Amino acid sequence: MSKETLLANLREIPDFPIPGILFYDVTTLFKSAECMQEMLDTLYEMYKDKGITKVVGIESRGFIMGGALAARLGAGFVMARKPGKLPAEVLEETYAKEYGTDTIQLHKDAISEDDVVLLHDDLLATGGTMAATYRLVRKNGCKKAYINFIIELKDLNGRKAFEEGVEVETLLQL
């Protein structure tokens, strides 16, 4: 994978969403056919031999590469969503954020004990949303779960949100 290509196409937006924050905009990676192919090829190579049966994409940017990767791996795709977005019976996990709490949901029948799951999102910052989604998937009793992000903001130490032994991979570390 050409990290240089991805970095050259990653837009940085200062002071978004609040002053003092440098926002990394992955939409510029998604609009580039070259970057999309580069990311998909790299992710496929990382996970093609892991026996993945389901890819869980976290709302909403995790849906993009998560769905494409699921198709490439021959796996099913599951959406992890905010409350009120999934129509059937759900399981949910509430987690702490900087200023309050949030909740993530999966359909109750989305993951089985036989599944090997890859959880995917665009960005690892503090890790709260992904850690909650990981706990939710593990409650369903899957065989194994892997975690992947496009970008990791190393200075925020998001990996600390996961228990020891959880395999967390990223394409870019900033």
pLDDT of residue 111: 97
pLDDT at 82: 96
The one-letter amino acid at 7: L
Q: Measured between alpha carbons, how far is 42 from 92 in angstroms, rounded to an integer?
A: 31
Q: Are the CB atoms for 55 and 111 separated by under 8 Å?
A: no
pLDDT in tens, the chain (174 residues): 688 999 999 999 999 999 998 999 999 999 999 999 999 999 999 999 999 999 999 999 999 999 999 999 999 999 999 999 999 999 999 998 877 899 999 999 999 999 999 999 999 999 999 999 999 999 888 999 999 999 999 999 999 999 999 999 999 999
> Catalytic site residues?
61, 98
pLDDT at 140: 85
Global pTM? Answer: 0.95
- What is the structure's pLDDT at 100? 83
Instruction: Give the list of residues 6+ apart from residue 106 with CB closer than 8 angstroms, or none.
Output: 56, 78, 79, 80, 81, 86, 90, 91, 92, 133, 136, 137, 140
Three-point CA angle 131, 133, 138, nearest 5° = 95
**Contacts by residues 77-85 (CB-CB < 8 Å, ≥ 24 positions apart):** 78/54, 78/106, 78/107, 78/110, 78/111, 78/117, 79/106, 80/56, 80/104, 80/105, 80/106, 80/119, 80/133, 80/136, 81/105, 81/106, 85/59
pLDDT for position 1: 60
In terms of Cα–Cα distance, which of 135, 103, 95 is closest to 119?
135
